[in-house]
Every structure is written in structure tokens, then in C-alpha cells.
Structure 1
Amino acid sequence: MKRVLLKLSGEALAGPKKTGFDEATVLAVAKQIKAISDEGVQIGIVIGGGNFWRGRTSETIDRSKADQIGMLATIMNCIYVSDLCRYTGMQTEIYTPFACGAFTKLYSKDSVEESFAQGKLVFFAGGTGHPYFSTDTATVLRAVEIEAEAILLAKAVDGIYDSDPKVNPNAVKYDEISIQEVVDKKLAAMDLTASIMCLEQKMPMLVFALDEENSIINTVHGKFTGTKVTV
């Protein structure tokens, strides 16, 4: 692989604490990212905000405002992970779809391509910049825009199941499944909007558990135990 879009779950970055950051977990992720980067793979990263905010479950706050708070949570996550990646020796750049002071750069494809050409790790923070669109949708949008070969979906679970494995102990995991089947069965790999966009844009996905040892490296090298989503 020459260019990928890595989606990191916010909850997965929280490690056993389930909220905020677990530095050991994030540092281990940063070291894996550096190993892949050193091989010449260009990496774009989107991070969810679930370790800080799950506002859409609230009935007391306007959905648009809840989503705006979620966008800011993803920016905090990207700043933190970016800095730990810098600690390991990488150069990074963070892009947002809206002005965010001196914290980030305003997203444009040309600017992103320049960052990749400079060997930088690129973070896409702030979602799409609009309410009602999740970081899943932002992941697919950016993956398509930067012409990534695949989306690497690092989650708290180890793949796509026919039902929620947290609720159903007899849930069956798919080793491989088409994006059409994911959409038809409304499986919870991503939200439906993002899955349909993957279908329309023919963007493959590799879904795996972040907490498995060297899971990101193994996925890039084709040795993973998660779910391959074909187009």
C-alpha cells in the first residue's frame, strides 16, 4: 500500500480508562504508525471523539450543538495523537474544514498533497465541519478525496459481526464481506451514510481491533484477523 486513511476510534485511544487518553495506548499506536511511515506509506488519519463526547444520545441539547462539541473533541484527539507522533520522530500536519486559530490548517486537497510530498503524517480533524455527518462519513470523504487505496478502520471490536457482540455472545464475525451486504444488512461497521458512500465510491475497508498487538502494521502488511470489506 502506498496511501491509506486510518480511522482511529476515540474510545480505543482511551484504553482501559474508557475516557480521555491512555498515553501508553496512544504511544504504542504512534510507534506503529511511524513503522509504516518509515516504509514509505503515506498515512491520513481521522479520529473519532467518543472518548470525550457522545452528544447525540442526549435529549436535552440541540443536535447541531452536540455535533459541534463532537467536532471539537476530534480536534483535541488529533492534537494529542499528532504530538505523540512527533515525539516518535514524525512530522505532522492537522487540517480542519473550518478555521481553528493557530491550532490547525484549513483543509484543501492541494495543501494536503504538499504535506504528503514533504513526508508528513496528515490528520483530518473536525469531521466534515457540518452537523449530522459523523467522523465515519468524514473518513470516507477524505479517503476518496486523497485517493487512498483503502480505509483502515481501527475499532474497539475486532471486525464486523452479524449482530452486536457486546450484546449477543453468539454473534458471528465475518472474515470477508461486500460493502453491498454491509449496506443491505445495515451492519454497524460504519454509520449507514458512510457505508453507502463507500459503496458508491468503491472504497474498500479493513476493519480490525486496535488493541491487538501490532494490529495496524499487520493490517498494512496483509496479515490481519479482522474483516475485509470488498467493493
Structure 2
Amino acid sequence: MVFKRILLKLSGEVFAGGEGFGIHPDTIARYAEEIREIRQMGMEVAVVVGGGNIWRGRMAPEMDRAAADHMGMLATVLNALALQDALEKVGVDTRVQTALQMAEVAERFIRRRAIRHLEKGRVVIFAGGTGNPYFTTDTTAALRALEIGADVILKGTKVDGVYDSDPVHNADARMFRTLDYLDVLKRGLKVMDATAISLCMDNKLPILVFNIAAPGNIKRIMSGEEIGTLVKE
């Protein structure tokens, strides 16, 4: 498949490297270099970041859910600013847009402005989730990808693709090369949450799940190599 405009979904946990918590500068620097490489290939790149390396609402079940989710949205802004810094250090013009109002550190999300940034060759990082509690950053990725007219969502994970069982605990787990949206929903496969999958299905937006921990995978995908699992109609 040939892609011109992509949305890269980075979960919070991949920002922590192998440490499980916090922000690992060397890991983020590598992501920035890989994004720089595909920008040089002419790709338009947007990124949605999670915040689970800093905070997840389910970490405090005794808290009000909306308050806990708002804390998670703020965590995504920290990751977005860290990635922006790494990208600009390798010469990539970058803008952070958030669903929350914080004009001193980032732009407010405006769809047409985001598209214009992409057309000018800037990387746009979307933070703050959708701005609403009860919605995941996976759903944010699906929503923003559709709003900017992305050709695909690239979901970077710690495994090579989507498996029929957990490959960490089952050596015989089988990886799928392709899946359709209904298979993902019926099998309960951990690609994205059901809201995000349904949104992609309704709008025929493909999702490519791949291992971002393997250096060079983003460029390989953009060069046409078959990597990971493609979820499509």
C-alpha cells in the first residue's frame, strides 16, 4: 500500500523504553530520527500520543473517573512536548496541538490549521486526547486521522503485530498478517478499543499494527515492506 499522509499512534508505554515508567530520552530520540527519515521521503506525518507511562485513570479506581481521565490527558501533553523537543533537535518543524486550552505551551486543535501544517511539511503532534473523559487515545487516533484525511493509522506497539493470544505468555501464539474489522471485534483482539475500531470500520480507515521497538520499522513500512498486521475492510 502507498501512503501519503499517515497518523502514527504512540502509546505512553513506548515512551518509557524498557523502564516501564517515565520518559526515556534515547528512545524518544530514536523515534524522532525515524520520523525525520520518513518526512524526507515526502510523507506527511501526524502523531497521537498516549500518557500511560505517566498516568492512567485506572491507576486510581477510587478517584472520580472524569478527574482521573483529565489527569491522563495532561500526561499526554508531557509526552507530546518531549517528542516535539526531540524532533526539533533533528531539524523537523513540529507543532503540538491539544484538545485542552493551554496556549502557553501548545496550539488548540483546529482541523484546518493542522492540515495546513501538514501541507507545509510540519509534523503535528496531537495531545490531550479528545478533550473528553471516557475516551481513549486510540479513539483519539481514529478521530484525528479521519479529521485530517490520513491514509492509514500506524499503531506502534511492543510486539510484531496482532496475535491470536498473548505472545509473551504463549510461544505458539500465531500472528495475523491481515484482519478485517469485524474479526477484531468478534475475537476481542487487542488492536484498539471497540469505539476506535468501529470508527475506522465505518469510514474504511486501515490500521497497521507493528513493532515500533524494532529500529527502522517505520521506514520499512513506508518503503512497502510487509510488516505487522493490517486491519482493513
- The answer to whether TM tops 0.5 is yes
Letter in 1 for 2:102: C
Q: In terms of mean alpha carbon deviation, does 136-145 or 152-161 score higher?
A: 152-161
Does the aligned pair in 2 maintain the 1:26–1:81 contact within 8 Å? yes
Question: For residues 19-30 of structure 1, what are the structure 2 equivalents within 5 Å?
Answer: 19-30=21-32
Deviations 1:56-114 (A, max 9, x none): 24321111111101101111000000110000001011111221131111111111122
The answer to whether 1:37 aligns with 2:44 is no
Deviations 1:99-130 (A, max 9, x none): 11311111111111221122110011000000
Query: In structure 2, what is the Cα distance between the partners aligned to 1:224 and 1:78?
Result: 29
Q: Which residue of 2 aligns with 1:164?
A: 166
The answer to whether 1:9 aligns with 2:8 is no
Question: For residues 85-124 of structure 1, what are the structure 2 equivalents within 5 Å?
Answer: 85-124=87-126
The answer to whether 1:76 aligns with 2:73 is no
Query: In structure 2, what is the Cα distance between the partners aligned to 1:80 and 1:69?
Result: 17
Query: In structure 2, what is the Cα distance between the partners aligned to 1:117 and 1:227?
Result: 28
What secondary structure does 2:48 align onto?
strand
The answer to whether 1:216 aligns with 2:218 is yes
Query: In structure 1, what is the Cα distance between the partners aligned to 2:63 and 2:173?
Result: 34
Structure 2 gap ranges (5+): none
TM-score normalised by structure 2 residue count: 0.95
What secondary structure does 1:177 align onto?
strand
TM-score normalised by structure 1 residue count: 0.96
Does the aligned pair in 1 maintain the 2:154–2:208 contact within 8 Å? yes
Q: Which residue of 2 aligns with 1:60?
A: 62
- 1:4 deviates by 0.4
Does the aligned pair in 1 maintain the 2:48–2:127 contact within 8 Å? yes
- 1:206 deviates by 0.8
> Of 224, 227, 232, which aligns to 1:225?
227
The 4+ residue runs of structure 1 with deviation greater than 4 A are none
What secondary structure does 1:95 align onto?
strand
The answer to whether 1:127 aligns with 2:126 is no
- 1:198 deviates by 1.0
The answer to whether 1:51 aligns with 2:65 is no
Coordinate RMSD, CA, aligned:
1.2
Deviations 1:34-63 (A, max 9, x none): 010011110010011111112224321111
Query: In structure 2, what is the Cα distance between the partners aligned to 1:19 and 1:59?
Result: 19
The answer to whether 1:174 aligns with 2:176 is yes
Query: In structure 2, what is the Cα distance between the partners aligned to 1:172 and 1:64?
Result: 37
Query: In structure 1, what is the Cα distance between the partners aligned to 2:102 and 2:160?
Result: 34
Does the aligned pair in 1 maintain the 2:201–2:232 contact within 8 Å? no
Query: In structure 1, what is the Cα distance between the partners aligned to 2:168 and 2:60?
Result: 22
Does the aligned pair in 2 maintain the 1:9–1:156 contact within 8 Å? no
- 1:224 deviates by 4.0
- 1:226 deviates by 1.0
Does the aligned pair in 2 maintain the 1:206–1:219 contact within 8 Å? no
Letter in 1 for 2:147: E
- 1:21 deviates by 1.4
Does the aligned pair in 2 maintain the 1:183–1:195 contact within 8 Å? yes
Aligned residue-pair number: 231
Letter in 2 for 1:34: R
